[in-house]
Structure 1
Amino acid sequence: MMNVKEQDKLAQLPQTTEPRNAGLPLDLDWVARVQANTSAIERRAATLGTRRSVKKAHQAAWLLKAVSCIDLTTLAGDDTAGRVKWLCAKARQPIRGDIMDALGMGPITVGAVCVYHDMIAPAAEALAGSGIPIAAVSTGFPAGLSPFHLRVKEIEESVKAGASEIDIVISRRHVLTQNWQALYDEMRAFRAACGDAHVKAILATGELGSLRNVARASLVCMMAGADFIKTSTGKESVNATLPVSLVMIRAIRDYEAATGFRIGYKPAGGISKAKDSLVYLSMMKEELGDRWLQPDLFRFGASSLLGDIERQLEHYVTGAYSASYRHAAG
């Protein structure tokens, strides 16, 4: 069997860091110029899964790359410290050791572990010394409708508890009413409350009404200092989609061209199959370039994706598919 390490130069590149996005004063003229050609975007999205075919060792290497970009997530009402500690153990060794040995690969980890505020402490204990960041959802997740001062305080408490990344939710009404100043001010306050912790702005794109609204909200959040923009909470009826992703990453491309700051992207919700992760990775490479294939600029918000990737890697190694229940992250 061909050694995956010899096939791929992306799977084990060290995580690098970018200068943080300083933001800009709100430019309403720029926001007003932003449009989205829905039919063209949908046509382009429809080709993404058909234009590239990655096979054998190359596919295995890309799947390992996807693993390194996963925010391994549990956001359930019945979360316990034990469940979170198990998830953190999986984050430390996301793919079984026998599979990694057969691939000729050294250890890898996921990009981060994402939890509610109350689960930060057990996550911090379980991840101590691993270098894996803790991401906490905040600001009244998932609806974002709690009092504003409490949303700000929630961020501050999560940072104090040990979260180095904060996934905030915006007020959808600001987008739906085109109140860009209110969205900008809200995002600036959230960014300030994060301090040194990086902030991911969740747009809840399935509730924003149009791709143009998605594009404009993406730009305003970046102007206000977001380090990442993220599609969804995973709790909406429509979560990450390829058309929405194209709109958001092209907004990132435009912002980088205008300011020099690279903003991260996180699709979340509904990405559960290994083949879907390959489509997203190829889209990032084609639209933004190799730099956005590193976990400091790209993450999957997922809980079940890892299980299917491990299953596909076992198939590559053994030539046989195992039952999905044998891969507990699924």
Structure 2
Amino acid sequence: MSATISDLPRNAGLPFDIALVESVRVNTPATMRRAATIPARRSLKKDWQAAWLARAISVIDLTTLAGDDTEGRVRRLCAKALQPVRPDLLDAIGLPDLTVGAVCVYHEMVPAAVEALRGRLPVAAVSTGFPAGLSPFHLRLREIEESVAAGATEIDIVISRRHVLTGNWQALYDETAQMRAACGDAHMKAILATGELGTLKNVMKASMVCMAAGSDFIKTSTGKEAVNATLPVSLVMMRTIRTYEALSGFKVGFKPAGGVSKAKDALTYLALLKDELGDRWLRPDLFRFGASSLLGDIERQLEHHVTGRYSAACRHAIG
């Protein structure tokens, strides 16, 4: 299967407008109530559940971001990305060519991933001093350029959280725009680290600024924060994407990362996405899960669907 291709125009951004940023309003109690209803409102069974779980697989950024990563581990992860579920199970559900959406690694592991995938899937690199984003700015830009030169076609950057916490929206816009320029043709996912932004209002403002600066995706978390992807944060970010599309005409992608490890959680996020943004976002060019263990649990659920039996989780190794 070839790398993800989109038929959508790329987000060109908007001029910085402080009035737009300051006009943001969030009804936090209503957001929390709405998010709480999602898991209780959706129940998928049998073939419908299997179909949605297969869709979840197709939008996973299969990820390894560990300090002890090796080229061998990355090559195994890439093999799993290309064959995410046992062939007999994929044949049984009629999707023998199913793959994940992309593979996400540190810069050092990009060449190994590129070689293993050979253009069949995108390679995403976390960049800009991930996960803290506190290295010198010129080095963050250089890291992006190095990853693109090594073959990464997607770059997951981290924003400077201090700009959000101090309300320096112009600085956030300027930095994000420069990072987008450094990405060139590679698509950029802006990681907001929402668990460290303090309020849902800050999440919405940061989302709007990053999209206006040209981000192709907005992403909840690095996966390294104490609190990562949550339904209330995701709801706010999805609604900001909808508002941005109305203002600009551009569709921007969304990526929840960290904490989405169970098949039932993936179904909940997909249901929320369908409700808030519609069917077009249920494709890899506009939605990704940042995950690793999620795939193993989905494979286990698909085995139960096909055979009627649950297997041990250790039978569904990721890498």
TM-score range relative to shorter protein: over 0.9
Match of 2:105 in 1: 115
- Could you tell me which of 32, 51, 57 is aligned with 1:67? 57
Verify: 1:311 aligned to 2:300, yes or no.
Answer: yes
Query: Which amino acid counterpart does residue 218 of structure 1 have in structure 2?
Result: S
Deviates more, 1:147-156 or 1:103-112: 103-112
Match of 2:262 in 1: 273
CA contact (8 A) 1:85 1:123 kept: yes
CA contact (8 A) 2:191 2:218 kept: yes
| Alpha-carbon offset, residue 101 of structure 1 | 1.4
| Alpha-carbon offset, residue 258 of structure 1 | 1.1
Match of 2:177 in 1: 188
- Could you tell me which of 242, 246, 270 is aligned with 2:235? 246
In 1, distance between residues paired with 2:293 and 2:53?
A: 14
Match of 2:29 in 1: 39
Identity %: 72
Query: Which amino acid counterpart does residue 35 of structure 1 have in structure 2?
Result: R
| Alpha-carbon offset, residue 105 of structure 1 | 2.1
Verify: 1:204 aligned to 2:193, yes or no.
Answer: yes
Match of 2:213 in 1: 224
**Residues 105-155 of structure 1, C-alpha deviation per residue, up to 9 Å, x if partnerless?**
22111100000000001101100142x000000000000000000000000
In 2, distance between residues paired with 1:123 and 1:250?
A: 34
- Could you tell me which of 81, 88, 101 is aligned with 1:98? 88
CA contact (8 A) 1:88 1:123 kept: yes
Match of 1:285 in 2: 274
| Alpha-carbon offset, residue 15 of structure 1 | 5.5
For 1:131-146, list aligned pairs within 5 A: 132-146=121-135
In 2, distance between residues paired with 1:101 and 1:260?
A: 40
Query: Which amino acid counterpart does residue 172 of structure 2 have in structure 1?
Result: L
In 2, distance between residues paired with 1:97 and 1:83?
A: 21
Match of 1:51 in 2: 41
Verify: 1:326 aligned to 2:315, yes or no.
Answer: yes
**Residues 157-195 of structure 1, C-alpha deviation per residue, up to 9 Å, x if partnerless?**
000000000000000000000000000000000000000
Verify: 1:160 aligned to 2:154, yes or no.
Answer: no
| TM-score using structure 2 length | 0.98
In 2, distance between residues paired with 1:17 and 1:109?
A: 19
Verify: 1:255 aligned to 2:244, yes or no.
Answer: yes
Query: Which amino acid counterpart does residue 308 of structure 1 have in structure 2?
Result: D
SS of 1:17 mapped into structure 2: coil
| TM-score using structure 1 length | 0.95
SS of 1:31 mapped into structure 2: helix
SS of 2:41 mapped into structure 1: coil
Which stretches of structure 1, 4 residues or longer, exceed 4 Å deviation after superposition? none
RMSD between superposed Cα atoms in Å: 1.0
- Could you tell me which of 15, 23, 27 is aligned with 2:13? 23
SS of 1:22 mapped into structure 2: coil
In 2, distance between residues paired with 1:45 and 1:139?
A: 31
Match of 1:125 in 2: 115
Query: Which amino acid counterpart does residue 102 of structure 1 have in structure 2?
Result: A
Segments of 5+ residues of structure 1 without an aligned counterpart are 1-13
